Amino acid sequence: EFPEGDEDYHTYDQLMTALETAAQDHPDITELSDVGTSHEGRTIPLMRIGAGSDTDKPEVLFTCNQHAREHLTTEMCLRIVERFTDGYGTDDTVTELVDTRQIYVIPTVNPDGSEYDISGGQYQGWRKNRQDQGTDLNRNWGYKWGCCGGSSGEPTSETYRGTEAFSAPETSAVRDFVNSRVVDGEQRIKAHIDFHTYGELVLWPFGHTTDDTGEGMTEEQAQRFRSVGEEMAGTNGYTPQQSSDLYVTDGDVTDWMWGQHKILSFTFEMYPGDGGGLDGFYPGDENIGPETQRNDEAVDILLREAGA
Ligand code: 0X9
Ligand code: CA
Ligand code: ZN
């Protein structure tokens, strides 16, 4: 459970209950399922929100909580679920987007790590999954995995990349779902945000190279990332930049989404901007409302962009 004073954050069980409630209250526009199970056997939930199940509509994916201690991101995904279900039929923007898009939300990619991080009612400062000494899920994706000094081969490292690409059941489950959205040879998912904390940044690929353009990224494509990234950052006040401007990573999710599938994929680093080390991962629960709402417009922009 969460420490005293932070009870508004959702534990895994509370998250599952909230998702079940949203699905039960809005059966016509939702479908709650899962992409598979974690190392310790927890279900990794998947919510689809969209009016009608047809495959002609552009699809958008939101993922959260790859990193265990980044609990604010789980709340971000839950807000997306609740806004696009409760707002249907009353909020014009929500209604239009639910009518014209399929919205997929995976609120916790790393349920084992997240539960471990709050075990004993104290924050454990945990980042990775719970397989052996822990794999950094955001170094385990299969596009140029381990290529470029942006991850570690040492199991004790916070950025351990795993024994091979997709060695973690959590990344391979999400991979299989995304691969399954290739219908008639076309990837139906057009855009994606992976939420992290912290730093207040909007980041785009590639992360494995500091080059702006090159293999897998034309001038025109890089321009589109920059312009959409800057537009979103204009609404939440985050700093927009290529992800490798922060630091080089290999095996992160956005490199795979773009490199493998040409999905317009961003990493958001949420509140706070500068949190003083480990404390930055644990903003009080009074921040959940304002700091998730802060990304409403950016989420809407990406949903619209998926149709462009
Ligand atoms: O290191 C990460 O996985 C992300 N930051 S975090 O503090 N949440 O761990 C950033 C990943 C974005 N990719 C690059 N910076 N290359
Ligand atoms: Ca509180
Ligand atoms: Zn993170």
How do residues 180-216 score in pLDDT, each as one tens digit? Answer: 999 999 999 999 999 999 999 999 999 999 999 999 9
Atom number, ligand 1, closest to the C-alpha of residue 208: 16
Task: Please give the average per-residue pLDDT across 149-161, as a whole number.
Answer: 98
Q: What is the pLDDT of residue 145?
A: 99
pLDDT tens digits, one per residue of 206-242: 999 999 999 999 999 999 999 999 999 999 999 999 9
Share of the chain above pLDDT 70, in %: 100
The answer on pLDDT for 55 being more than 80 is: no
For residue 202, report the distance from its CA to the centre of ligand 1, in Å.
11
Could you tell me where the beta strands, DSSP code E, fall in the chain? 30-37, 43-49, 59-64, 102-106, 182-183, 186-187, 189-197, 201-204, 239-242, 264-270
- Whole-angstrom CA distances from 291 to 63, 125, 211, 285, 302 are 17, 21, 32, 10, 18
Confidence of residue 52 (pLDDT cuts 50, 70, 90): confident
The number of the ligand nearest the C-alpha atom of 136 reads 1
Query: Does the N-terminal peptide bond of residue 111 adopt cis geometry, omega within 30 degrees of 0?
Result: no
Take atom 3 of ligand 1 and give the residue whose Cα is closest.
Answer: 138
Pick 55 or 155 by higher pLDDT. 155
Q: What is the pLDDT of residue 265?
A: 99
Is the predicted ipTM greater than 0.95, yes or no?
Answer: yes
Take atom 12 of ligand 1 and give the residue whose Cα is closest.
Answer: 243
Confidence of residue 79 (pLDDT cuts 50, 70, 90): very high
Confidence of residue 31 (pLDDT cuts 50, 70, 90): very high
Task: Please give the average per-residue pLDDT across 291-297, as a whole number.
Answer: 99
Evaluate whether 64 touches 106 at the Cβ level (below 8 Å).
yes
pLDDT tens digits, one per residue of 113-129: 999 999 999 999 999 99
Site to probe by mutation for ligand 1, drawn from 196, 243, 256, 279 as the one with most ligand atoms within 8 Å of Cβ, is 196
Mean pLDDT of the chain: 98
- Whole-angstrom CA distances from 122 to 4, 5, 116, 141, 282 are 9, 12, 10, 30, 11
The whole-angstrom separation of Cα 194 and Cα 267 is 5
Amino acid present at 245: D
Amino acid present at 87: G
Take atom 14 of ligand 1 and give the residue whose Cα is closest.
Answer: 243
Atom number, ligand 1, closest to the C-alpha of residue 127: 9
For residue 287, report the distance from its CA to the centre of ligand 2, in Å.
9
What secondary structure letter does DSSP report for 121?
G
For residue 308, report the distance from its CA to the centre of ligand 1, in Å.
27
Span of 51-60, 235-244, 281-290 with lowest mean pLDDT: 51-60
Chain mean position to CA 28: 25
* Pairing label, strands 102-106, 59-64: parallel
Q: What is the pLDDT of residue 9?
A: 99
Helices 253-261, 169-180: inter-axial angle, 10-degree rounding: 30
Task: Please give the average per-residue pLDDT across 58-78, as a whole number.
Answer: 99
* Nearest residue to 69 (alpha-carbon basis) of 197, 163, 189, 156: 197
Task: Please give the average per-residue pLDDT across 261-290, as a whole number.
Answer: 98
Q: Write down the residue that tokens 């709340």 correspond to.
A: 75
Structure tokens at 121: 């009612």
For residue 197, report the distance from its CA to the centre of ligand 3, in Å.
6
Confidence of residue 54 (pLDDT cuts 50, 70, 90): confident
Evaluate whether 80 touches 193 at the Cβ level (below 8 Å).
no
Q: What is the pLDDT of residue 233?
A: 99
| Ligand 1 site, residue 267, Cβ cutoff 6 A | yes
Evaluate whether 60 touches 98 at the Cβ level (below 8 Å).
no
pLDDT tens digits, one per residue of 267-279: 999 999 999 999 9
* Active-site residue identified among 59, 70, 200, 269: 269
Q: What is the pLDDT of residue 176?
A: 99
| Ligand 1 site, residue 244, Cβ cutoff 6 A | yes
* Nearest residue to 74 (alpha-carbon basis) of 239, 253, 197, 247: 197
Task: Please give the average per-residue pLDDT across 98-110, as a whole number.
Answer: 98
| Ligand 1 site, residue 148, Cβ cutoff 6 A | no
| Ligand 1 site, residue 207, Cβ cutoff 6 A | yes
The number of the ligand nearest the C-alpha atom of 114 reads 3
How many Å is the maximal CA-CA distance in the chain?
52
The number of the ligand nearest the C-alpha atom of 286 reads 2
Amino acid present at 278: L
Evaluate whether 294 touches 271 at the Cβ level (below 8 Å).
yes
Q: What is the pLDDT of residue 53?
A: 77
164 a catalytic residue: no
Q: Three-class SS of residue 8? A: coil
Task: Please give the average per-residue pLDDT across 281-294, as a whole number.
Answer: 98
Task: Please give the average per-residue pLDDT across 295-301, as a whole number.
Answer: 99
Buried b / exposed e over 165-193, threshold 16 CB at 10 Å, is bbbbbbbbbbbebbeebeeeeebbbbbbb
Task: Please give the average per-residue pLDDT across 286-303, as a whole number.
Answer: 99
Site to probe by mutation for ligand 1, drawn from 64, 66, 67 as the one with most ligand atoms within 8 Å of Cβ, is 67
